[in-house]
Structure 1
Amino acid sequence: EVVTRHAMIQGFGEEEIEELSVFSLYIGVNFSKIAASVIIMSTIGAITDVAISITSPMREIYNHNPLIRRKELFASGFSIGKDILGTNTNTLFFAFFGGYMALLLWFKDLSYSVGEIINSKVFSAEMISIFCAGIGIALIIPITSWINAYYLIKKREKSHDS
């Protein structure tokens, strides 16, 4: 909510008002919380995708080398994550342009300047969603690698103790 409040992206942009003019906007909904929810929902998908894409190969590495040390397993997961980071960045970028292609064409038809496009609420809200997803992806790589390495080695230690 802090991000949406300081970026002032809650509510509707000029481009969306025309479509919503027939509806009552006095419904008692906090649009700041809705904007924060949209950012969180769009970020969760990207983070989950990266986490699963890291844990599966780490398990395979562990299965093929059950005596691997935790530090080596973590390093492998981190290396896998770095490779995934590039492809997911492209995915986020193209998802934005694919989802907002009609809006970008509308901006062009209305002769919006680059400054007007960048300062529009719709564009800013989407850019913040992309940046939050990118930050989430970058943060989940070491977190997932560490948790998975810890879990797999702990599981091995428990099986040796029994």
Structure 2
Amino acid sequence: MGAGHSHGLSADGELERAPRASERTTIVLSSIVGAVLFLTIMGAMAVWPSDWSFLRSVPTTYEGAQWVSVEVVSVDQETGVAQVEVEGQEDQGLQSLEPGAFSTFEYEVGDQVRALQIETGELIFGDFERDGPMLLLLVAYVLLVVIIARWRGIGALLGLIAAFGIVIFFTVPALYGGGHPLIIGLVTGSGALALLLYLAHGFNARTTTAYLGTLAGLAITAALAWWAVEASNLTGMWSEEGSHLELSGRSVDLQGLVLCGIVIAGLGVLNDVTVTQSSAVWELRAARPEISRWNLFARGMRIGRDHIASTVYTIVFAYVGASLPAIMLISLYDSSLGVVLTGAEIAEEVVRTLVSSIGLVLAVPLTTGIGALVVGQHAIVEDDVVPAEVDDEGPGESSATIEG
């Protein structure tokens, strides 16, 4: 976990040696990560689902009906009824499709729609098909990541795919199987983070520092979430999805689902903060090889405070955007702000935001402290550290980057 030798470019473009973690540091880091991954595997085995019958167990149609794709050919502007052509049934001519019962939209010529066709041949609006625009956005996103971030971008995308695989093939089945939601959340977080970080940033001490800092923040988030969900009596039944799960006939612990969701929701922001702090400590060490661990920590925290300030309101606005319809609906009622914020409809989002923010704030000093210990004096091969050069124009860039 960081003993590999790497190189960096100096300010004048010459290839320089990049410092390596010392043998002792490498052994310590490898042992800690090995223990974490061992516990992760043991936790996964403890909650591994044995029943997979939930997969595709709820039908989306009834006997005699089928989903079909249709294209709007014309629209009656007065009634809103569209004349559509059913894919695979072009020989039957145009058919009528009325808007949904509670819809406020209007059909436009060329719209691609998913409709339910019943035995009589009548079409019932289901939803718009969005494959084309969403695929275009996905392709644009992947291309931009690969072009700008290059190999690290490819690694991050592969890690993201692997992390989603963990959620789909482990987290969801384990929750349906009745496993403890806190263990499931921690196992998901630990496993997904390992894949994401090491695939995106490589196997080195810098990445391991970010991983350990994120795990520390995740543990704090999980502990707070466990207490907050119980103390606040968050049942998970007030959301539309929770109601559907309750009616699905599966024995799902909705309160546990809220707990697990809060733990997983904090991963992305925690990861962002810890990777930045780890990189900041490494660059500070490269620029000031003689700096003490305490000064390294203090200078790293100066950067961390700015990051905390910006990320906290990023979290808040992210959750506000996701909950905007609920906020608008609640604003119609004659209730005090205190009643609104503590009501079942929005309390879950408030608790999630507060718990994630506390975990994020504490992850910054924890990661900075771990980084200062890992990259501090005697923790790396000192012969590899090349002091920063200073020219007449001002401070130059560090002549070495520490990749671990």
Q: Residue 135 of structure 1: which of 358, 373, 384 is its match?
A: 358
Which residue pairs with 1:82 in the alignment? 305
Q: Report SS of the residue matched to 2:230.
A: helix
- Code of the residue aligned with 2:296 in structure 1: it is L
Aligned residue for 2:230? 5
Partner of 1:63 in structure 2? 286
- Structure 1 length-normalised TM: 0.85
Taking structure 1 as reference, are residues 26 and 59 closer, same or farther at Cα in structure 2, changes over 3 Å only?
same
Determine the C-alpha separation between the residues in 2 that align with 1:77 and 1:135: 19
CA displacement, residues 62-116 of structure 1 (integer Å, 9 cap, x when unaligned): 111112111111111111111111101110111121111111112234x252344
1:122 deviation in Å? 3.0
Could you tell me which residue of structure 1 aligns to residue 295 of structure 2? 72
Q: Percent identity?
A: 22
What is the alpha-carbon distance in structure 2 between the residues aligned to residue 19 and residue 128 of structure 1? 17
Change over 3 Å in CA distance of 1:11–1:157 after alignment to 2: closer
| Inter-partner Cα distance in structure 2 for 1:19 and 1:73 | 47
Amino acid at match of 2:302: S
Q: Extract unaligned runs of 5+ from structure 2.
A: 1-225, 384-404
For residues 80-119 of structure 1, the aligned pairs below 5 Å read 80-109=303-332, 111-114=333-336, 115-119=338-342
Give 1:51's aligned amino acid.
Answer: T
CA change 1:95–1:31 in 2 (3 A) is same
Distance 1:37 1:148 in 2: 29
Residue aligned with 2:250, SS:
coil
Q: How many residues align?
A: 158
Question: Structure 2 length as normaliser, TM-score?
Answer: 0.36
SS in 1 for 2:368: helix
Indicate conservation of the 8 Å contact 2:277/2:367, yes or no: yes
Structure 2 CA distance, aligned partners of 1:19 and 1:37? 14
Give distance in 2, aligned partners of 1:22 and 1:60: 49
User: Relative to 1, partners in 2 of residues 1:158 and 1:100: Cα closer, same or farther, differing over 3 Å?
Assistant: closer
Instruction: Name the CA shift for 1:22/1:141 in 2 (closer, same or farther; >3 Å).
Output: closer
Aligned partner of 2:41 in structure 1 is none
Higher strand share: 2
In structure 1, distance between residues paired with 2:250 and 2:312 = 37
Compared CA separation, residues 19 and 145, structure 1 to 2 (3 A): closer
Amino acid at match of 2:322: G
**2:260 alignment counterpart:** 37
Distance 1:21 1:116, change over 3 A: farther
Structure-2 change in CA distance of 1:157 and 1:42 (3 Å)? closer
Contact 1:9 1:122 in 2 (8 A): no
- 2:368 aligned with 1:145, yes or no? yes
Structure 1: gaps spanning 5 or more residues? none
Q: 1:18 to 1:92 in 2, by over 3 A?
A: closer
